[in-house]
Structure 1
Amino acid sequence: MKPCIDIVLATYNGEQYLEQQIESLQNSEQYHQLINRLIITDDGSSDATIAIINRLISLDSKIELHINPQNNTGLTLSSESCPAIPCRVGPLANFAHGLSLTTAPYIMLCDQDDVWLPNKITLSFQEILKKDNDSPQLIFSDKRITDKNLNTLSESYFSLKNIPTNWHHDIEHLAQQNVASGCTMLFNRALLNIAMPIPINAYMHDWWLVLIAKHYGEVTLIKQPLILYRQHDNNNIGAKKRRLTQLLVNFPHYLADFQTSFWRAVTQAQLLCQHIEKSKQLSPIVPTITSFAHIAAAPKYKRIGYWLNKKVTRSNLLGRYALLIILLITKRKH
């Protein structure tokens, strides 16, 4: 079979774990048969990341390196704009740049610090071949949570976080809490054609992709873990489970983070509604996340009603009560 998958790997100061991650890709079943290009986009690393990549490029013709040329506004950076230190664009824009470089019918996303299990590429590809690839299709898997030395902390992300494995079946749930990590995804060109360009105010690239896939096509979960999801001090987004005492002691801090995250998700839901409105010719389906997308303008009695009937919700009890507090204390936006 002709290679038909591009992998996009976004890097930033990833020297500690990067080579082990790339080796896990290369040691995957059917890497040489199925992978077309390993597209690495770097976000201005100042450690040995670039040197590691260049050495690996000399050993593997599939690997290519691209330095992200844009900042968060999409403007090309000049040396005058950042004379002292490299400018970061962040993971969303870095992955979006990598996605814009892909040419293959199928795409996978890769973080710099995880380890892929040997059957990840094969099982994901087998699953997407069962689908109608004329429409957007996204496959994702569970992940095994490990510490920085790859010692297992939990066999399942869903079990660790007490999230039902059917959470992604409801787009309203998915708009409020993402369960599909980019590092576990395989999706098709039909999805990318609709999802790009990713709005700069989207919460995260992978969350946007799965929402687009859910509305316009299909999202499928492989319930077994296909990666080792490494937890360490520098994770952008992690899967660490906090003890109850830790949550109580630091409650104001966690609530503030939760509030910021919640309203960013609302903004993303609004962007999705706008996308759907502009693309009615692609899908006649009416947006099903209207309540959540317009929660900021809803009076308190409506917010409480949405909470009670679980139109606005979280997958666990503690999250639900934190959400209720946010809905009560945040002023209505007219």
Structure 2
Amino acid sequence: MKTNPTPRQQSLDPSIPVRVFWGKRLQLYLISRDRGGGNGHIERMAGGESIEFNNDVFMSERDHADRNYALGFLMSEYKCFPEGSALQECMDFYFQVSCSVEVTCDSMVVIAGTLANGGVCPITDEAVLCPGTIRNVLSLMHSCGMYDFSGQFAFKVGLPAKSGVCGAMLIVVPGVMGICTWSPPLDSLGNSVRGVQFCEEVVRVFNFHMFDNIPRNSCKRDPRKTKCEITGTNVINALFSAASGDLVALRRLKMAGIDLSMADYDGRTPLHLAAAEGHLVIVKFLLEQCGVPHDPKDREHQSTALAEESNTHPGLWRHG
């Protein structure tokens, strides 16, 4: 009789496809009554990738779940279950869906991608989960997905994640990508040592931490935007703010570390536009507080910042 290999056996035999057990608790929040059965639902999230059920694990969990039963009875006493629910059926459902489902790293990363993509499977383009469900799941993963390490993980990494005692980790970068890691050595809290280290290294290089501020943290990269896109956005914001006389916006750009002497394709700087529109306050701000060059030249190598516009706006000439 053929039996499924344990994660430890898999780690010793590279010929066996890596198979990991899905972390507990998370799946219960992915399934609603109007969406059908659990396994089919998860298969849709995985885009048809491998999803299997391990009956041996189910029976073992069912026979050695004294703590879970105790918690279940306590929750039942406090009316935490929907009216008409049978505790044993709820427990069996929990053991089946949250303890006994086997997935490969390939299927797990597609599931992570579905969570990162707002509930739309990146392989099949099927809308499996509604945005509200995704919000709730990611909030739960962020607050308690890493066992007793969840608080520190949220502080250091700042990404929704779920770990399992098999050494697998599912990490979600909302709107960007899903990640799955598998490394069996665990720390004292039951999380993958290398998985946690990998996440810390990722947020050290990229601004994926939900509270990262890329303008004030230039040592980090934002792979969601190209360098040209970032520079172009900054130039447009500065030019339009100067042309419209928006001093508050320019101050905000300055505090964010944006270079207000940068020019567009024609070599026109914020100082050009502020002078052309007669915004003396903006001109003084750029010259005195930002220290921009007072005589910039455009693509035709002509100075148009102060001298030419002074015929129309004599106040600028006096300031110069």
Task: Choose between structure 1 and 2: higher helix proportion.
Answer: 2
Larger radius of gyration: 2
TM (norm. structure 1) is 0.24
Question: Which structure would you say has the larger RCO, counting Cα contacts within 8 Å and 6 or more residues apart?
Answer: 1
Task: Choose between structure 1 and 2: higher strand proportion.
Answer: 1
TM (norm. structure 2) is 0.25
